[in-house]
Structure 1
Amino acid sequence: MPRLYFFIGLMCLVRSDTDETCLTFTRLSLHSAVVGTRLNVKLLLYTRRNLTCAQAVNSTFLGNLNVTKKTTFIIHGFRPTGSPPVWMMDLVESLLSVEDMNVVVVDWNRGATTLIYSQASGRTRNVAKILKEFIDQMLVEGASLGDIYMIGVSLGAHIAGFVGELFYGQLGRITGLDPAGPLYNGKPPQDRLDPSDAHFVDIIHSDTDALGYREPLGNIDFYPNGGLDQPGCPKTILAGLHYFKCDHQRSVYLYLASLTENCNVTTYPCDSYRDYRNGKCASCGTPPQEACPIMGYYADNWKDYLKEKDPPMTKAFFDTAEENPFCIYHYFVDIITWNKNVRRGSITIKLRDRDGNTTESKIDHQPATFQKYHQVSLLARFNQDLDTVAAISLVFSTGTVTGPKYKLRILRVKLRSLAHPERPQLCRYDLVLTENIETVFQPILCPKLRM
């Protein structure tokens, strides 16, 4: 009997990695980045049963992973300071809040933590091989490749692509959050993420002029604010490290915002950001909003994509606000003028509801050309959505500080919501705008056209 007690006590003391109560993401330091680390991949499993307490899993131990459910892998990127990604747990919890699934955090911090970016990049294929071994075991246990979803951030996006390539493009979906550009721009498809790596590949490009990949990489590529400078991010190096990573990380926070119920970010397929800003691509079908792709988690609901087995690569553009939930509400401002001479300038429009709430849009990215009896349709973007519009104000400007003040004689102005096309269109007739002077008016319902 004493031997039995001794044996039980010994078994309680000996605990393998897979039996660890709560596995945590590897936390390293700048010192580790300087001296370098060897690749060591940990897989952290979260489910609704263990939402805040990760379980260690590997290719020989699947733990609580339910192979009949969807499994989402989160793969981080380059970690030059060794710290865990600040957004990681928010993403885990948000994913589990919208769907009962397995979430596997791919912790390759020992390998991504280095001051030498090329070293981290050189380890991406080895990470992919480890993930393949794990997924192979999932398949043995009855999982389906179609139920596997990979979310890769920066270098992690290309890791997801390499995994997809190892499974001949049969993964269900890959989302690339600002896939890394350095060492990957211009590479052939087999050396980076590409549309053939999964049944559906969607990308959010938020830093194409620095750390992100420039060209399209997926079935649909989303370009917030043109994929360049993001609103709310520092404009100068005086902001320190935040200056370098803010645009790059914005893709993650936009994706996170798509998991909340605050708003769905509608995007507009277009050839260029310029065409989108000029209002040339603000309709996706009939009714218009139903056919427009939604950025983020629900991007795979895009019905135009689902109609085709091999859809063309599509670029979609949209603008965002500076802060979460980042939603911008689009309106068309249709203006018909009756000036004898051509007028060129910008329009600032302000909306006010009955409670006094206001929202403003300055449409000045490109001067509009107003010709007699020609309609000009301007795309206005507002940070706030007003259910009812009680008053509208307009300011016309040619951009000149000195010289005569021009007038813009408006035959009709019409306001129509893109976010809510079911709302009534608002009109006003016979207005005269004096340059740089605000003109306020109460709109009336536009008459319905008889067919």
Structure 2
Amino acid sequence: MVEDLKRKPLFVLAVILLLSSAQAGNANRTSWHQCADFQRANLLHGRKLNVQFLLFTPSNPGCGELILADDGIEDTSFNSSLETKIIIHGFRALGTKPSWIEGLVRAILHTSQVNVIVVDWVHGSTGAYYSAVDNVTQLALSISRFISKLLALGVSGTSIHIIGVSLGAHVAGLVGHFHGGQLGRITGLDPAGPKYTRASLEERLDPGDALFVEAIHTDADNFGIRIPVGHIDYFVNGGKDQPGCPRFISAGYKYLICDHMRAVHLYVSALKHSCPVVAFPCSSHQDFLNGHCLDCDDPFLFSCPRIGLLEQAGISMRRLPKEVVVYLMTSPSAPFCVHHSLVEFRLQKKRSVVTSIEITFYSNSIKDTTKITIPQQEEVGKRLLAHKVPLCEVDVVVLKYLPKNRFWRKDESHIVGQFCAAPLPLNKNRTMFCLPGNLTLHGNMDLPYQLSAACA
């Protein structure tokens, strides 16, 4: 958000409230040691916030400890020497606990020794979406006061990481704004689009809200925001139409929410599994698929961003660029991670028609396919292929030439050319692996070859 915070009414209000909370007494502290859970809201009583803070720790990841807004945090199991993750859910139409909360908490605590604090605001997030939006500022102030108490205990602002889902991502942005953009990290999981795509920087998540801001976009054409809002913005499968999600309204609720919630499930999976979920900067999704963006040299100086908890997503740069759009593909189901390889076919001679070649990788029972299209009067066609095992573990590649026969003209019966492949990132330290010699592909016939690419 913009630099001149003094002129913003929201910031002034936040400062007043934060200072008042810092001066509050330490009396009437109560320890809570029994397991606490989310409240249950309903449509008739959904506008009052009734914010709860639930603490989860490495020693008790399945049991939430209730921290009331006016209670002393030092009387809880909170460990001020550990980093702190704060999870903020989004709009809850029916006032129910998000089904993904426990999985995300456990995935974080499985990976890291940290405090996890879940913000329960189901009372203020239920009913109509626009009513929930109206509660965002008040909620952000409540969370900001809570964070001020953590800071008063000696917690470093840089050790605080807020994870906001959908509408919760913009709440996280506002909280970061109230703290002058000096909190450590904000992760937005498919930040909400309605009411926010055209919002000002003061109202939505943006790179100025924390020292590092990242966003994962999976439903940019519906419930998610379609513009970059962080230092790094992951547009997964182009940011919409996720594989494995239903494409027909007959699937009901899953049709509506599957793409939007994929960001959460992908993030949880990235924490639970060792397979890296890596992305690549590119000017457009189509350029990415067509193999025009093969490394991360510009602007990340060779290191590629990775979804998860690595510092700055694994980017080794002191001064991060802003709003860098990166792309990646995934599989239809968990663990979602895939390997990206460039596949290329070079014709022996140019053709006057478009050439289509199907490329399939086989490894045991795993099959991954893409199609190369070579424009007319050009020699080379290339495409990215997402596959579930590393290229060096692929056993066989099958090539199939797909002639375009018309009733007035038949295509050539065969083509001749060379096939090459290389895993991404493809930089000066890696070269393409090519099958030996020129290959003759006959129309609509599978041509299998052993693939013996070396492991890096």
TM-score under structure 2 length normalisation: 0.85
The change in CA–CA distance for 1:219 and 1:386 in structure 2 (over 3 A counts) is closer
- Equivalent positions of 1:336-415 (< 5 A) are 336-353=346-363, 356-363=364-371, 367-369=373-375, 371=377, 374-385=379-390, 387-398=392-403, 403-407=409-413, 409-415=415-421
Are residues 1:161 and 2:173 paired? yes
Once the two structures are TM-superposed, the CA of residue 140 in structure 1 deviates from its matched residue by: 1.1
Alignment partners' CA distance in 1, 2:406 and 2:397: 25
Alignment partners' CA distance in 2, 1:428 and 1:339: 18
- SS for the counterpart of 1:297 is coil
Cα deviation 1:368-420 (Å, max 9, x = unaligned): 22657x44332222244464344321012255575524345333211222279
Are residues 1:315 and 2:325 paired? yes
The number of residues matched between the two structures is 420
Once the two structures are TM-superposed, the CA of residue 162 in structure 1 deviates from its matched residue by: 0.7
The change in CA–CA distance for 1:318 and 1:146 in structure 2 (over 3 A counts) is same
Once the two structures are TM-superposed, the CA of residue 16 in structure 1 deviates from its matched residue by: 9.0
- SS for the counterpart of 1:247 is helix
- Counterpart position of 1:56: 66
Aligned partner (choices 214, 226, 231) of residue 243 of structure 2? 231
- Counterpart position of 1:441: 449
Are residues 1:244 and 2:249 paired? no
Are residues 1:149 and 2:161 paired? yes
The change in CA–CA distance for 1:443 and 1:41 in structure 2 (over 3 A counts) is closer
The change in CA–CA distance for 1:390 and 1:151 in structure 2 (over 3 A counts) is closer
- Counterpart position of 2:89: 76
- Equivalent positions of 1:7-406 (< 5 A) are 18-19=31-32, 21-28=34-41, 32-34=42-44, 36-57=46-67, 58-62=69-73, 63-114=76-127, 116-285=128-297, 291-298=303-310, 300-304=312-316, 306-308=317-319, 310-353=320-363, 356-363=364-371, 367-369=373-375, 371=377, 374-385=379-390, 387-398=392-403, 403-406=409-412
Cα deviation 1:79-122 (Å, max 9, x = unaligned): 001221111001001101111110000000111111x1111111
The change in CA–CA distance for 1:268 and 1:340 in structure 2 (over 3 A counts) is closer
Q: Letter of the aligned partner of 1:135 in structure 2? A: I
Once the two structures are TM-superposed, the CA of residue 165 in structure 1 deviates from its matched residue by: 0.6
Alignment partners' CA distance in 2, 1:289 and 1:321: 28
Cα deviation 1:116-169 (Å, max 9, x = unaligned): 111111101111111111111111111111010000001100110110010010
The change in CA–CA distance for 1:414 and 1:124 in structure 2 (over 3 A counts) is same
Whether the aligned pair in 1 keeps the contact of 2:214 and 2:232 (CA below 8 Å) is: yes
Cα deviation 1:43-89 (Å, max 9, x = unaligned): 00001122111111135321111122111000000000122111100
Whether the aligned pair in 2 keeps the contact of 1:412 and 1:430 (CA below 8 Å) is: yes
Once the two structures are TM-superposed, the CA of residue 239 in structure 1 deviates from its matched residue by: 0.9
Q: Letter of the aligned partner of 2:164 in structure 1? A: G
Once the two structures are TM-superposed, the CA of residue 175 in structure 1 deviates from its matched residue by: 0.3
Cα deviation 1:12-31 (Å, max 9, x = unaligned): xxx99752511111234xxx
Whether the aligned pair in 1 keeps the contact of 2:395 and 2:452 (CA below 8 Å) is: no
Alignment partners' CA distance in 1, 2:206 and 2:350: 53
- SS for the counterpart of 1:51 is strand
Q: Letter of the aligned partner of 1:111 in structure 2? A: G
Alignment partners' CA distance in 1, 2:112 and 2:453: 42
Q: Letter of the aligned partner of 1:432 in structure 2? A: T
TM-score under structure 1 length normalisation: 0.86
Radius of gyration: which is bigger?
A: 1
Q: Letter of the aligned partner of 2:387 in structure 1? A: F
Cα deviation 1:317-369 (Å, max 9, x = unaligned): 1111100011222222222212353441332212335xx444231226xx322
Whether the aligned pair in 2 keeps the contact of 1:262 and 1:325 (CA below 8 Å) is: no
- Superposition RMSD on alpha carbons, in Å? 2.6
Alignment partners' CA distance in 2, 1:215 and 1:333: 30
- Structure 1 alignment gaps of length 5 or more: 1-14, 447-451
The change in CA–CA distance for 1:313 and 1:408 in structure 2 (over 3 A counts) is farther
- SS for the counterpart of 2:297 is coil
- SS for the counterpart of 1:315 is strand
The change in CA–CA distance for 1:50 and 1:387 in structure 2 (over 3 A counts) is same
Whether the aligned pair in 2 keeps the contact of 1:78 and 1:155 (CA below 8 Å) is: yes
Q: Letter of the aligned partner of 2:421 in structure 1? A: L
- Counterpart position of 1:417: 423
The change in CA–CA distance for 1:443 and 1:326 in structure 2 (over 3 A counts) is closer
